[in-house]
Amino acid sequence: DAGVIQSPRHEVTEMGQEVTLRCKPISGHNSLFWYRQTMMRGLELLIYFNNNVPIDDSGMPEDRFSAKMPNASFSTLKIQPSEPRDSAVYFCASRGLATNEKLFFGSGTQLSVL
């Protein structure tokens, strides 16, 4: 299995631009999580989906952030417009019924907003 696949690995953009982060969960997993990691705030849960349905998006910072999961094998996290304070590492993670509730993380997307 290829694991959780995130793209791009690195993203550098200018303030005001739209940023789209992508995630392919492990095949067969039915829960998907988006986290953001910074030195100041640690790992913050932004949103998670069960069976493609958003369950809790209370961690999404503001309306500039949106996440979708159109099918079981793909999710996007979009920031529009981006701001320098959005600079962070964004992780996607998935888990399934057979994985004993543990999360499998992708390698993350390092986002820098200039």
Partner 1 sequence: SQQGEEDPQALSIQEGENATMNCSYKTSINNLQWYRQNSGRGLVHLILIRSNEREKHSGRLRVTLDTSKKSSSLLITASRAADTASYFCATDAGFGGGTSYGKLTFGQGTILTVHP
User: Which stretches of the chain bind partner 1, using CB under 8 A?
Assistant: 4, 31, 33, 35, 42-43, 45, 48, 50, 55-56, 91, 93, 95, 100-108
Cβ distance to partner 1 smaller for residue 24 or 95: 95
Report the nearest approach of partner 1 to the CB of residue 39 (Å).
Answer: 10
Report the nearest approach of partner 1 to the CB of residue 94 (Å).
Answer: 11
- Exposed, middle or buried: residue 13 (CB in 10 Å: 0-12, 13-18, 19+)? middle
Cβ distance to partner 1 smaller for residue 70 or 102: 102
Preceding amide of 84 cis, omega within 30: no
Report the nearest approach of partner 1 to the CB of residue 16 (Å).
Answer: 28
Q: Which residues contact 34 (CB under 8 A, 6 or more apart)?
A: 23, 45, 46, 47, 48, 67, 75, 77, 90, 91, 92
Cβ distance to partner 1 smaller for residue 81 or 87: 87
